[in-house]
Amino acid sequence: MSKDVAADIRSVRKVPIVIIMILGAFLATLNQTIMSVVLPELMIDFSITASTAQWLTTGYMLVSGVLIPITGYLMQRFTTRELFQTSMIIFLAGTVISAIATGFPVLLTGRLIQAVGSGIIMPLLMNVILTLYPPEKRGAAMGMVGLAVIFAPAVGPTLAGYILEHYRWETMFYGMIPLVSLIIIGGFIYLKNVSARSSSRLDLLSVTISTIGFGTLLYGFSRAGSAGWLSTEVLISLGAGILSLGLFTWRQLVSKSPLLDLRAFQYKMFSLTTVINMAVTIVMYADMILLPLYLQNARGYTAMESGFLLLPGSLVMGILMPVTGKLFDKYGAKWLAIIGLLILIATTISFTNLTDSTGYLYMALMSTGRRIGLAMILMPIQTAGLNQLPAKLNAHGTAISNTVKQVAGAVGTSLLVTVMASSTKTHMQDMIAGGGTREQMMLEASIQGINDAYLVIVGISIIGLLLSLFIKQTGQPSQGTSEGLQQKMKVKAARN
């Protein structure tokens, strides 16, 4: 980045820019979480099956996951203002189409268009934070991002449940239209360009391979939980995804203008924190998948009661995000991550012994404890890795980080569902030999299956804890560090 651009950044008002973009990210994240509550009503309105309705969330995830790797190029090719406003306008168009949909195909089209806009916003916001703030002040800013991203899933299902009790499902989309419009207007007034634009060439072959690779991989993981890991559909999807991503990696390493610059993995802390972030993302999905299944299927609680149990923890987690961001600026990520993971492990262990009479208040307290641990880990870990990258790799680093989290989310979902299902089947077979009513045996087996899935979560948390012991505080290298690192590697290779 040139000195002129740096001077411009020092003179811009950072707070309005960050607030506008955080609000956009909040609405995009909120939109992603509200549909899970709406699916049963849509199945009745459109006379569709559960597997068909699920495409409203699966398709959204696939489009976002495919698009995120391309954002590294987009953030270099277009200005901050151009990219954010375009993404919000696309998001608005998808919202309008969803609101007026009279059939499932139109609603699905609207959701997929929304996903295009949503997939750009979060990597762009993180890149702007890295550009506006020096490494020693990024923690607090990233904490505010975490507040928006965590608060939206916390209120999304509860808000959707309330709306559905009093209004039709279209109201959620109609209500979002004026909010998105206000953000677009605010963007025209307050948003400034904070990054330099480069004329890099778009590698169409990389785009094609990336789309196939991430698309089939995410689809395979999303289907594995219901279809089974050994189903032909899943095996073909995962095989095509792995092969395509292998070709994609090779292409990025030999290309002069890589779509996703994998040289970011030359920086040890970025690589380490990326792996830890994958583990933590999988762990985070435990409460989002396992606990609602236990509460609603095994205990008979309503969706609203299930949402209210998770709400306190999510709110506390959102409030703590800015606090842990400031602590990161002062003390670094290592001890925050270690303490957070110890809290996470201790509270998750309490969910490995669920019964048909476990107290509601006890589960709410333990779930809140898990979210406190997550608040100490998520943004500090991600910021610590991004802080080590030189400025020119910021766009690619944020794209890589968000892509990995998207894949980890899909892996976590399918892993937990598979462990739960297979364990339930095993426990059921053991109980049949012992005798009893089928209904009671099925209930007990399903609870034991959820307990076993939580046990896997404990194991993954322990792996994250062990990796966190190797975190070191690093400063941001100069622009030429990447080239210097490559030169040193070439010299070393020549000597060998």
Distance, in Å, from the CA atom of 287 to the CA atom of 59, rounded to the nearest integer, reads: 22
Question: What is the pTM assigned to this prediction?
Answer: 0.78
**The tokens of 160 are what?**
């959707």
**Looking up tokens 């400063």, which residue turns up?**
475
- Beta-carbon count within 10 A of 435 CB: 7
Residue 239 pLDDT exceeds 90:
yes
Question: Which residue type, as a one-letter code, is found at position 151?
Answer: F
Higher pLDDT pick, 8 / 68:
68
Residue 486 pLDDT exceeds 80:
no
Distance, in Å, from the CA atom of 307 to the CA atom of 154, rounded to the nearest integer, reads: 8
* 243-257 burial: b if 16+ Cβ within 10 Å, else e: ebbebbeebbeeeee
CB 413 within 8 A of CB 399: no
Question: Which residue type, as a one-letter code, is found at position 406?
Answer: Q
Distance, in Å, from the CA atom of 33 to the CA atom of 380, rounded to the nearest integer, reads: 24
Alpha-carbon distances, residue 309 vs 242, 375, 417 (angstroms): 38, 18, 21
Distance, in Å, from the CA atom of 184 to the CA atom of 87, rounded to the nearest integer, reads: 10
Distance, in Å, from the CA atom of 171 to the CA atom of 150, rounded to the nearest integer, reads: 23
Distance, in Å, from the CA atom of 292 to the CA atom of 34, rounded to the nearest integer, reads: 15
Alpha-carbon distances, residue 66 vs 33, 151, 204, 245, 416 (angstroms): 19, 25, 14, 12, 23
Distance, in Å, from the CA atom of 87 to the CA atom of 316, rounded to the nearest integer, reads: 30
Residue 174 pLDDT exceeds 90:
yes
Distance, in Å, from the CA atom of 438 to the CA atom of 431, rounded to the nearest integer, reads: 9
Least confident piece of the model among 73-87, 321-335, 411-425: 411-425
**Rounded mean pLDDT of 155-184?**
85
User: What pLDDT is stored for residue 9 in this prediction?
Assistant: 57
CB 415 within 8 A of CB 263: no
Distance, in Å, from the CA atom of 344 to the CA atom of 154, rounded to the nearest integer, reads: 18
pLDDT digits (tens, 9 = 90+) for 152-168: 776 777 777 778 778 88
**The tokens of 253 are what?**
């390493």
Alpha-carbon distances, residue 391 vs 128, 165, 195 (angstroms): 11, 49, 10
CB 157 within 8 A of CB 292: no
Question: Which residue type, as a one-letter code, is found at position 115?
Answer: A
pLDDT digits (tens, 9 = 90+) for 254-299: 887 788 888 888 889 999 999 999 899 888 877 777 887 788 778 8
**Rounded mean pLDDT of 202-208?**
83
User: What pLDDT is stored for residue 310 in this prediction?
Assistant: 81
Residue 348 pLDDT exceeds 60:
yes
pLDDT digits (tens, 9 = 90+) for 464-474: 999 999 998 76
Which one, of 407, 408, 402, lies nearest residue 464 by Cα? 408
